[in-house]
Structure 1
Amino acid sequence: MNWTPAEFEKRLRAVPEERYHHLHPFNVRMHAGDLSPEEIRRWILNRFHYQRHIPIKDALILSKLETSELRRMWIHRIHDHDGTEPGEGGIERWLRLGEAAGLSRDALLSGEGVLPGVRLAVDGYVNLCRLGTPLEAVAASLTELFAPDIMRTRIQAFERHYTWIDSEGLQYFRNRVTQGRRDSGEALPLVLEWARTEEQQESAVAALRFKCDLLWSLLDAIDRASE
């Protein structure tokens, strides 16, 4: 028997509550101010490999949406990260974060130093969006339900503990507070509407769980490299 919409939403929200990477030991250490400059730079460099693939996965999702209305709604996610003009967008803001932390733009863009485990996790997410159903791909994006909270926590942590990073470099995090709230507010109603059967609801929850596991695995790789 399929869940009611309220029960389905509750089960979706329970996944990141239990499995989102704000609970990962590396992020706990980051937000407590316990990471060294080398660890922060390693995280920035490896996380950039994920960031630069966000518009790619969103383009794959966009190609699965069958109406102009849905495509108009989703395409702003690509603009958010690629920008609409050179020098704009989330990828550019992440490059500026790297520069503020002492990494060169060339080092970030080259991809050298990206850990195999990080590449595997990112490939897994992109392939989910390429090969999965529209429901699974959109459901996986619902980690954004928790993104605003972790962004606010991260901003406070960096401003308090990592003052050697220029505050201008934190603009990516500031933008994602509002963007994450908007994005999840668009995606959640779609998932609730599209998942009508028990099988569809279970596949949506599984996709969100898979995304949480990928984000956790990405941090596992970075954490092990720190050790």
Structure 2
Amino acid sequence: MNTPLTPDQLEDALRAIGAERYHNLHPFHKLLHSGQCSRGQVQAWALNRYYYQCGIPRKDCSLMANMEQKSMRIEWRQRYFDHDGLGEDEGGIERWLRLTGALGLDRDYVISTRGILPATRHAVDAYIHFVRDKPLLEGIASSLTELFAPAIHAERISGMLEHYDFVDDSMVGYFRERLSQAPRDVEFALSYVRQQAVTVPQQQAVLNALRFKTDVLWAQLDALYFAYVAPGMIPPGAFIPD
């Protein structure tokens, strides 16, 4: 890239990353959404994904700490409330715990994160550290996987309800909420990146930030597949399905 992209060209490049690298393409998700996972494999996915869910508000706090303008912090803080809850809204983390509980996982065990895969912990922690340590523009750009999230949530809702007799409508509340939350969130983040990434180095940085985030999501599914599908090598201390 020798000359800067226009904002529309930059957005097209960001969307192309999702089309090539978003984790809806991962073999584990294809198994999950098509009903080919066992109940134990679904439990392992929900348990490990909990660590990512509870990492999101930590990430958002780190990002807001890098925002000097009050108006930006006010805009971004709704993301934090969406996950940790506010007032009568229980928040996304609590909705995820309802899912893991309905799958038969002990609440205290899930919250302790004792049974998650080492790769899950390392991937999520790397994302939090990335947002904390990188320039604000790159931290915001890394959130743009939300461009692609509504499609995967819709696919997950229909696929899991259709294929698993142990999943009912009350268990997919988290995904239903994200159908409206993610588009709202991405509107601000995408507008910011389009406006602020104007030089070639800035545009390369935001594209790399989004690639990094897709790697974080993909790595978690790699670990799940390796441990619970093939070759089925569960590391010491990790969750073992019944």
Q: TM-score scaled by structure 1?
A: 0.98
Cα deviation for residue 112 of structure 1 reads 1.1
SS of match in other structure, 1:53: helix
The corresponding residue for 2:19 is 17
Over the matched positions of the two proteins, sequence identity in percent amounts to: 45
1:38 maps to which of 28, 37, 40: 40
Aligned residue runs from structure 1 range 11-90, under 5 A = 11-85=13-87, 88-90=90-92
Residues in 2 aligned to 1:87 and 1:48: alpha-carbon distance in whole angstroms: 18
- Letter in structure 1 aligned against 2:218: W
Residues in 1 aligned to 2:181 and 2:193: alpha-carbon distance in whole angstroms: 18
The corresponding residue for 2:236 is none
1:207 maps to which of 201, 209, 233: 209
C-alpha contact (below 8 Å) 1:12/1:205 kept by paired residues: yes
The corresponding residue for 1:118 is 120
1:162 aligns with 2:168: no
Q: Which moved more, 1:174-183 or 1:78-87?
A: 78-87
C-alpha contact (below 8 Å) 1:58/1:78 kept by paired residues: yes
- Letter in structure 2 aligned against 1:8: L
- Letter in structure 2 aligned against 1:99: G
Unaligned segments of structure 1, at least 5 residues = none
1:4 aligns with 2:6: yes
1:101 maps to which of 88, 103, 113: 103
1:182 aligns with 2:197: no
Residues in 2 aligned to 1:165 and 1:101: alpha-carbon distance in whole angstroms: 8
Q: Which moved more, 1:100-109 or 1:82-91?
A: 82-91
Query: Following TM superposition, where does structure 1 have runs of at least 4 consecutive aligned residues deviating by more than 4 angstroms?
Result: none
The corresponding residue for 2:237 is none
Q: Which moved more, 1:203-212 or 1:97-106?
A: 97-106
The corresponding residue for 2:142 is 140
C-alpha contact (below 8 Å) 1:195/1:201 kept by paired residues: yes
Cα deviation for residue 86 of structure 1 reads 7.5
C-alpha contact (below 8 Å) 1:117/1:221 kept by paired residues: yes
SS of match in other structure, 2:104: coil
Residues in 1 aligned to 2:53 and 2:162: alpha-carbon distance in whole angstroms: 24
SS of match in other structure, 1:196: coil
Cα deviation for residue 163 of structure 1 reads 2.4
SS of match in other structure, 2:198: coil
Residues in 2 aligned to 1:162 and 1:120: alpha-carbon distance in whole angstroms: 30
The corresponding residue for 1:172 is 174
Residues in 1 aligned to 2:53 and 2:8: alpha-carbon distance in whole angstroms: 32
Residues in 1 aligned to 2:75 and 2:88: alpha-carbon distance in whole angstroms: 22
SS of match in other structure, 2:128: helix
Residues in 2 aligned to 1:113 and 1:87: alpha-carbon distance in whole angstroms: 28
- Letter in structure 2 aligned against 1:170: V
Q: Number of paired residues? A: 227
- Letter in structure 2 aligned against 1:166: D
Cα deviation for residue 166 of structure 1 reads 3.0
The corresponding residue for 1:197 is 199
Q: Which has the higher helix share?
A: 1
Residues in 2 aligned to 1:28 and 1:186: alpha-carbon distance in whole angstroms: 30
Q: TM-score scaled by structure 2?
A: 0.92
